[in-house]
């Protein structure tokens, strides 16, 4: 086991900083349940240092030429790719996700974001608006100091997805990782500074929700971007709203995946597996309500159970392992609780359903329930574990209405060979991100985010620029002012 103890808990103004007065945060490796490092929650002194440094640095960074800003981000992307294995191992130790996944989905995705926004930085321009003699021009300006608050499921990716567009536009960032996974963002901060980012442009402070709260309510903070659950989103949005701050909210979901009877069934099962078992099911956009046409339901259930049995569960650091534990004991209890509720409410277990008791860590079997109905708790609430619900349907309009009957609106997917039906169905899904004949791919080129309670704003793509900058209009008069008095 590599020593992953960071030099200190926080990274501010280009340096590791410690204040042991802050509450201890134990970093637990989910595959063993053992503590592998400790950090301290930020005290008010640490928060103040981070804010002061971020404000000062933002003045310098916003004056740095866009082409140079882009170069720094692209250099950081290259460095992340060079250090992919080391960063992936850290991600695995922080989250318990298997190395087989983290090698391809975490630091690499973060590098993509830095590369993409590095490429965009120099092309952000304003507009010239002719008005006869007079004219208006617009300037795209950074917002200032942005706060990013992360969930624990993708700590490296979330740190980068927030840093890249923010820095591209000339903002500075303070990132607060989830206290469950505090390690990865510190490495990203180190790399950004090594790549040439001015000190203070990307600070990391550790802490529980109260630290996030202190950052969100500080009047010097211009923007808040949260990745987290809907209940936390409501609180953070309200706190940011009180200060009329810009927000991006990437929140939870209970997304539908609709499988028609003409779909390639093995491909659809691959999609459903990806949509429920990847990262032990701890993915916000997961398609956890799998609507399967009644004509193929039995075959689907039978093959899903067979293929689930082939999932290799175990040591996340072994590259042959497909699936690791869930992130911590609390999440384990939550997931097992939902499995019990599923059984009690009459859903039929077709595979899994238990904790894997012969392992020390927080392992749960890949679990699927059939005969789930729309009103069951497991079909309504976000479980955030490897638990899939299979619901039957017969009619297209019926399934669309049922798919949309939820407060969430993050994602949705459809498997069918009928091209017109595929487009017709996704057009009617109330969701920010949809897939046809695949699931959960989130390339940086495409906007990502939710509708309804699942969020506000979009990450990635050119759309993210709108959420990290604002326009200034400048009216230019070419003739004297006309004044009647």
Which tokens hold the place of 384?
A: 């955030």
Run of H or E residues at 342: helix 329-344
Catalytic one among 250, 365, 382, 396? 250
Rule CB under 6 A: say whether 213 interacts with ligand NDP: yes
Question: Annotated catalytic, 284?
Answer: yes
Rule CB under 6 A: say whether 359 interacts with ligand NDP: no
Sheet containing strand 289-293, edge to edge, reads 348-351, 367-370, 387-393, 289-293, 256-259, 411-415, 433-436
Rule CB under 6 A: say whether 455 interacts with ligand NDP: yes
Question: Annotated catalytic, 162?
Answer: yes
Figure out which of the listed residues 84, 95, 232, 308 binds ligand NDP, where binding follows CB under 6 A.
232
Q: Which is nearer to ligand NDP, 239 or 265 (CB)?
A: 239
- Shortest approach of ligand NDP to residue 174 CB, angstroms? 12
The span of 245-253, 357-365, 396-404, 464-472 binding ligand NDP (CB under 6 A) equals 245-253
Burial of 73 (0-12, 13-18, 19+ CB in 10 A): buried
Q: Residues 30, 364: contact at Cβ < 8 Å?
A: no
Rule CB under 6 A: say whether 43 interacts with ligand NDP: no
Figure out which of the listed residues 50, 87, 114, 149 binds ligand NDP, where binding follows CB under 6 A.
149
Q: Which one, of 109, 407, 388, lies nearest residue 252 by Cα?
A: 407
Rule CB under 6 A: say whether 216 interacts with ligand NDP: yes
Catalytic one among 284, 301, 351, 434? 284
Burial of 447 (0-12, 13-18, 19+ CB in 10 A): middle
SS3 (DSSP) at 76: helix
Figure out which of the listed residues 284, 317, 422, 425 binds ligand NDP, where binding follows CB under 6 A.
284
Rule CB under 6 A: say whether 382 interacts with ligand NDP: yes
Run of H or E residues at 372: none
User: Cα–Cα distance between 474 and 110 in angstroms, integer?
Assistant: 36
Rule CB under 6 A: say whether 94 interacts with ligand NDP: no
Rule CB under 6 A: say whether 14 interacts with ligand NDP: no
Rule CB under 6 A: say whether 27 interacts with ligand NDP: no
User: Cα–Cα distance between 332 and 326 in angstroms, integer?
Assistant: 6
Rule CB under 6 A: say whether 243 interacts with ligand NDP: no
Figure out which of the listed residues 33, 119, 209, 447 binds ligand NDP, where binding follows CB under 6 A.
209
Nearest to ligand NDP by Cβ — which residue? 212
Rule CB under 6 A: say whether 457 interacts with ligand NDP: no
- Shortest approach of ligand NDP to residue 142 CB, angstroms? 22
Rule CB under 6 A: say whether 91 interacts with ligand NDP: no
Rounded to 5 degrees, what are φ and ψ at 200? Answer: 95, -15
Cα R_g (the chain), whole angstroms: 23
- Shortest approach of ligand NDP to residue 386 CB, angstroms? 14
Rule CB under 6 A: say whether 42 interacts with ligand NDP: no
What is the dihedral sign for C-alpha 17, 19, 25, 27?
A: positive
Half-sphere exposure of 335 (CA within 13 A, CB side): 30
**Residue 71: alpha-carbon gap to chain centroid:** 25
Question: Annotated catalytic, 340?
Answer: no
Rule CB under 6 A: say whether 217 interacts with ligand NDP: no
Q: For residue 473, give every residue at least 6 positions away whose Cβ sits within 8 Å of its Cβ, in sequence order, or none.
A: 136, 137, 138
- Shortest approach of ligand NDP to residue 122 CB, angstroms? 27
Q: Which is nearer to ligand NDP, 121 or 240 (CB)?
A: 240
Question: Annotated catalytic, 194?
Answer: no
Let me know how long the chain is.
Answer: 485
Rule CB under 6 A: say whether 384 interacts with ligand NDP: yes
- Shortest approach of ligand NDP to residue 454 CB, angstroms? 6
Q: Which is nearer to ligand NDP, 62 or 217 (CB)?
A: 217
Q: For residue 176, give every residue at least 6 positions away whose Cβ sits within 8 Å of its Cβ, in sequence order, or none.
A: 42, 147, 148, 149, 150, 204, 205, 206, 207, 211, 212, 215
User: Cα–Cα distance between 41 and 58 in angstroms, integer?
Assistant: 24
Q: Which one, of 164, 198, 250, lies nearest residue 468 by Cα?
A: 164
Rule CB under 6 A: say whether 118 interacts with ligand NDP: no
Q: Which is nearer to ligand NDP, 300 or 338 (CB)?
A: 338
Q: Residues 412, 400: contact at Cβ < 8 Å?
A: no
Rule CB under 6 A: say whether 412 interacts with ligand NDP: no
Rule CB under 6 A: say whether 101 interacts with ligand NDP: no
Burial of 481 (0-12, 13-18, 19+ CB in 10 A): exposed
Q: Which is nearer to ligand NDP, 99 or 284 (CB)?
A: 284
Q: Which is nearer to ligand NDP, 147 or 350 (CB)?
A: 147
Figure out which of the listed residues 91, 179, 190, 396 binds ligand NDP, where binding follows CB under 6 A.
179
CA distance between the termini of the chain: 80
Q: Which residues bind ligand NDP (CB under 6 A)?
A: 149-154, 176, 178-180, 208-209, 212-213, 216, 226-229, 232, 235-236, 250-253, 284, 382, 384, 410, 450, 455
Catalytic residues: 162, 250, 284, 459
């Amino acid at each position: 086991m590599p020593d992953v103890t960071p030099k200190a808990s926080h990274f501010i103004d280009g340096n590791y900083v410690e204040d042991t007065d802050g509450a201890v945060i134990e970093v637990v490796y989910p595959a063993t349940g053992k503590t592998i490092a400790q950090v301290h929650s930020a005290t008010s002194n640490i928060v103040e240092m981070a804010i002061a440094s971020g404000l000062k640095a933002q003045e310098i960074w916003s004056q740095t030429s866009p082409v140079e800003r882009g170069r720094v981000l692209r250099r950081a992307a290259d460095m992340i790719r060079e250090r992919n294995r080391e960063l992936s191992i850290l991600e695995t130790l922080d989250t318990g996700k298997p190395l087989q996944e983290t090698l391809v989905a975490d630091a690499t995705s973060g590098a993509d974001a830095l590369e993409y926004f590095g490429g965009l930085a120099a092309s952000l321009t304003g507009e010239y608006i002719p008005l006869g003699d007079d004219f208006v021009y617009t300037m795209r300006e950074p917002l200032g100091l942005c706060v990013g608050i992360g969930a624990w499921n993708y700590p490296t990716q979330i740190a980068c997805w927030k840093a890249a567009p923010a820095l591209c536009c000339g903002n500075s960032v303070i990132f607060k990782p989830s206290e469950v996974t505090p390690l990865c963002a510190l490495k990203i901060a180190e790399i950004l500074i090594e790549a040439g980012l001015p000190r203070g442009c990307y600070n990391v402070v550790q802490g529980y929700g109260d630290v996030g709260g202190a950052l969100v309510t500080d009047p010097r903070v211009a923007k808040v971007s949260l990745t987290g659950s809907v209940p936390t989103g409501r609180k953070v949005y309200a706190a940011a709203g009180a200060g009329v701050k810009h927000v991006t909210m990437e929140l939870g979901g209970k997304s539908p995946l609709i499988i028609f009877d003409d779909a390639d069934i093995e491909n659809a099962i691959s999609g459903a597996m990806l949509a429920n078992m990847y990262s032990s099911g701890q993915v916000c956009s997961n398609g956890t309500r799998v609507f399967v046409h009644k004509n193929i339901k039995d075959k689907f259930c039978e093959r899903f159970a067979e293929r689930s049995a082939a999932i290799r569960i175990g040591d996340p650091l072994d590259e042959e392992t497909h699936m690791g534990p869930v992130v911590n004991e609390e999440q384990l209890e939550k997931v097992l609780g939902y499995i019990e509720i599923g059984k009690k409410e009459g859903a039929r277990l077709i595979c899994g359903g238990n904790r894997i008791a012969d392992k020390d860590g927080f392992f749960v079997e890949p679990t699927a329930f059939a005969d789930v109905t729309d009103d069951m708790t497991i079909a309504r609430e976000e479980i955030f574990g490897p638990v899939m619900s299979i619901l039957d349907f017969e009619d297209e309009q019926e399934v669309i209405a049922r798919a949309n009957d939820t407060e969430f609106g993050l994602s949705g997917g459809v498997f069918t060979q009928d091209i017109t039906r595929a487009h017709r169905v996704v057009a009617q899904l109330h969701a920010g991100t949809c897939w046809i004949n695949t699931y959960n791919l989130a390339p940086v080129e495409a906007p990502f985010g939710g509708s309804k309670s699942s969020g506000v704003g979009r990450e990635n793509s050119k759309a993210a620029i709108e959420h990290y900058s604002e326009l200034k209009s400048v009216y230019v008069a070419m003739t004297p002012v006309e004044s009647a008095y």
